[in-house]
Chains A and B, each alone.
Chain A
Amino acid sequence: MALPKVKEDALAARLAVMPEHAGKGWLAGARAEALARLAAMGLPARRDEYWRYTDPAGLISPEVSAAAPFAAGDETPIFDGIDRLNLVFVDGLFDPAQSDDPALAGVEIERLAEAGGKDIHWAQGVYGVLEARGQTPVQRPLAALATAEATDGVLIRVTGRATRPVALHYVHESNTSDAILHHCVKVEAGAALTLLESGPGAARLTKVLEVEVADGAEFHHIRVQGRDHERRAATHIFARLGARSEFRSFTLTANGRMTRNEAVLELTGDEARAHVAGAAVGDGDFHHDDTVFVTHAAEACESRQVFKKVLMNGATGVFQGKILVKPGAQKTDGYQISQSLLLDEDSQFLAKPELEIYADDVKCSHGSTSGAIDETALFYLQSRGVPRTVAQALLVLAFLAESIQEIADETIAEDIRGRLEAWLARHAAKAGR
C-alpha cells in the first residue's frame, strides 16, 4: 500500500538530516532492515489511531526545538547513593571519561558502535528483532527510526546475578541536541540485572531499549527522566519474557515539554510476571503520554500496569494501555490502572484503556479515573494543624503511592518519594487556592 504523501515527505525530510552510518557487520544489516520497515510505515501523523491524543510534530520534525539544560543547583543527583556501575552519555554519545570501567562479574557490556562491526554477535537475536515484533498490530515508526539511525547505545548481556545495578546517565548539554539511542539487554536464564536510567539525554531524545528476559531471569528497571522544561522524548521499551521470568519497570517523569513513553511487553513463557508503572508530575506546558501494550501469549502469567499522573496549570496527561490475551493464554492475571489527579480545571487527562481477550479462563481488570484533590481530606488534615500546602503534598504522594510501590528497592523508592515531595513543595505555591 502506498504511503500517504504527507508521511512520505515527513520521513524524507527527517532522514535527510541524518548522518551516514558507514560500516559492515551485523549492525549494518539490522539498520537496513529497520529503514525498510520505516519506509513502509512513514512517520507518525496526528490521524494515526495511537497519535490522536499526542501531536507527534515536535518528535518527528527535522529540526529540534531549542531546549535549555536544567540547572538542578546543589541537589544530589538521583541514584548517587546507590552503589552502581555508571555509564554516561552526553547529548546521545557515550563518554568513556565520565563513565566507570564497564567490568562487572556476570555482565558483559559493549558499546553498540564497537560491537556492531562484528560478523556474528549475540545481539543479532535482539537488536531490532523485538522492535520489529512490536510493530504489529500497532505501528511504532519512531522505534524503527531508533533502530535504523541510533547514534549510540550499549549492549548488555547478563549471565549471572549482577551484584550492582548498571546505570545509564544521560547528560543534556547542547540546546539543540537530537539524540537517538538504542540499547539491548539480554538476561540469560536464571540471571538478574537492575538497570537504572536517568537524565534527559538531549533537547530531543528518541530511544529504544530492547530486553530479552530468559526463563527464570529477572530484570528490574527504574528510570527518572530529566527535569528540563523544554526537552522532548520518545522512548520505547520492548521486552520479551520467558517462563517464570520477572520484568519490572518504573518511570518517574517530572517536567518536560513532551514525553511519549511506550512499553511493549510480550509474555511468551508460562508463569512470567511483567509489571510496568509510572508516576508523572507536570506543571503548565507539559504533555506526557504512556502508551503500553502487554501481550499474554503463555499460561498463568501476571501483568500489572500502574500509571499515575498529577497535572496542574494546563498540563496534559495521556494513557493508552492495552492487554491482549492470546488464545490459549489461560489463567492470565492482568491488571491495569491509570489515574490522574487534576489540581485545577485547566489540566486534562485522556485515557484509552483496552482489553482484548481470546481465552476463557482469565482474570483481567482495568480502571481509569480522573479527579480533583479530596477537599474533605484536605480539611481534615488542616484541622489537625497541617498547613494546606503540606496537606496537599501528603495527599498527592498518597495518590502516587501505588505506582511507587512497584519499585522493589526500598532505598530508591524512598528517594523518589523525597524528590516528589520537593517538587510538590516547589510547585505548591503556584497551585495555591
Chain B
Amino acid sequence: MLEINNLHVKLEDEDKVILRGVDLKIGPGEVHAIMGPNGSGKSTLSYVLSGRDGYEVTAGSATLDGQELLEMEPEARAAAGLFLAFQYPVEIPGVGNMTFLRTAVNAQRKARGEEELSAGDFLKLVREKAKALKIDAEMLKRPVNVGFSGGEKKRNEILQMAMLEPRMCILDETDSGLDVDAMKLVSDGVNALRSAGRSFLVITHYQRLLDHIKPDVVHIMAAGRIVKTGGPELALEVETNGYADILNEVG
C-alpha cells in the first residue's frame, strides 16, 4: 500500500535537514505505529506525505499503490486515497462543517470520475456516521472546528475520515489533548474503519493510544530515521523504559 524509500527532507527556507533516509513499507490492512521523542521528524513525515508547503524532498520516494505521491498536489493525494488526521485540526471561520464535508466528498468523487452524492444521500450518510462518533447536528452546522473542544476537533477528524473512506490513513498525535473517554470514542471510530483494504499509520508519543488502536508493527523514529522496528511489545518497552535505552542500543 504505502512504500517509503530512503526519504530525505529539509526545510525549504533554511538548511535544516529533518528526515534522513526514512524507509517504511505498510501492507494492505496493516496498522503501523511510529513512536519517537520530540523533534524526531514524525509530524514532518506526515506533512510531507500529505503535501504541505515548506518542505523540500532532497532524495527518496513515497508511493501509494505504486503511484508517486511526492509529485502530486495535496488534493490529488487525497483523491488517491491518502488521509491525514491533523494533530491540530484547523479552524475555518465562515465555512460550515457540512459544506466543508460535502465539498470534500464530492471533490474526491469527481476527481475519481464517480458521480457526486446528492444532497439527500449525503445528509443521510453524514448523520449516520456522525451518530457513531457522538457528533450532534449542532456541531455539523457550526463553522469547521470553530469553538470545538479538543475532543470535538479530533472526533471531527475521524468523521471526515469516515466520510472520505481513504485507503491509507495517517493519524498525527490524535491522542494529544484527549481525555480518557474521548480517546476511547476516537479509537472506536478508528477501529470501526479497520478493514482488509485500509491501512493506518499512527503517530504517537505514548503507548496508551496503542492500547485502543492495536498496531501490527511499531517503529521507533529518532533523528529523522526509523531506528528500530518490532511488534506491539516495542511500544510497551518505550512506555516502561523511555526512549533512552533504545536510542543507546542503536547508537
A positions within 8 Å CB-CB of B? 374-377, 379-388, 390-391, 394-395, 397-399, 401-402
Contact = CB atoms under 8 A, between A and B. Distances in A.
Contact of B53 (A379, A385, A395): A379
Contacts of A384: 78, 100, 104, 107-108, 160, 164
A381 B104 contact: yes
Contacts of B84: 383
A399 B94 contact: yes
B230 interface: no
Given A377-B92, A382-B51, A383-B51, A390 B74 contact: no
A214 to B, nearest CB: 36
Nearest to A379: B52
Interface in B73-108: 73-75, 77-79, 83-84, 86, 89-95, 99-100, 103-105, 107-108
B75 A386 contact: yes
B107 to A, nearest CB: 5
Contact of B103 (A380, A383, A390): A390
B50 interface: yes
B92 A383 contact: no
B73 A381 contact: no
A136 B15 CA distance: 60
B104 A398 contact: no
Given A376-B90, A377-B92, 7 more contacts: A382-B73, A383-B86, A384-B107, A386-B103, A388-B73, A395-B95, A398-B95
23 contacts: A376-B90, A377-B92, A379-B51, A379-B53, A379-B90, A380-B86, A381-B103, A384-B78, A384-B160, A385-B105, A385-B107, A385-B108, A385-B111, A386-B75, A386-B107, A387-B75, A390-B103, A390-B107, A394-B100, A398-B93, A398-B95, A398-B143, A401-B94
A384 B84 CA distance: 8
Contact of B90 (A380, A386, A394): A380
Interface string B104-119: 1101100100000000
Contacts of A383: 50-52, 74-75, 77-78, 83-84, 86
A79 B90 CA distance: 37
Contacts of B99: 394
Interface string B54-90: 0000000000000000000111011100011010011
B111 A395 contact: no
A385 B79 contact: yes
B230 to A, nearest CB: 30
Most B CB atoms within 10 A — which of A376, A386, A388?
Answer: A386
Contacts of A398: 92-95, 143
A401 B89 CA distance: 22
Given A386-B107, A387-B75, A381 B94 contact: no
Nearest to A393: B103
A386 B104 contact: yes
Contacts of A391: 75
Contacts of A379: 51-53, 74, 90
Interface in B195-240: none
Contacts of A388: 73, 75
B111 to A, nearest CB: 7
A369 to B, nearest CB: 13
The 5 A-B pairs with the shortest beta carbon distances in the complex, nearest first, are A398-B94, A385-B78, A385-B108, A382-B74, A384-B104
A384 B3 CA distance: 21
Contact of A377 (B77, B83, B90, B108): B90
Given A387-B107, A390-B103, A394-B103, A382 B78 contact: yes
A395 B144 CA distance: 11
B184 to A, nearest CB: 25
B116 to A, nearest CB: 12
Nearest to A397: B94
A374 B145 CA distance: 15
B188 to A, nearest CB: 22
Contacts of A382: 51, 73-75, 78
Contacts of B93: 398
B87 to A, nearest CB: 12
A406 to B, nearest CB: 14
A399 B143 CA distance: 12
A78 to B, nearest CB: 23
A28 to B, nearest CB: 51
A382 B78 CA distance: 8
Contact of B104 (A374, A376, A377, A385): A385
Most B CB atoms within 10 A — which of A380, A385, A387, A395?
Answer: A385
A399 B94 CA distance: 7
Contacts of B74: 379, 382-383
A380 B164 CA distance: 14
Nearest to A396: B94
Contacts of A376: 90
B185 to A, nearest CB: 21
Nearest to A399: B94
Contacts of B105: 385
A374 B144 CA distance: 14
Most B CB atoms within 10 A — which of A382, A397, A398?
Answer: A382
B172 to A, nearest CB: 11
A377 B143 CA distance: 12
Most B CB atoms within 10 A — which of A379, A383, A388?
Answer: A383
A367 to B, nearest CB: 14
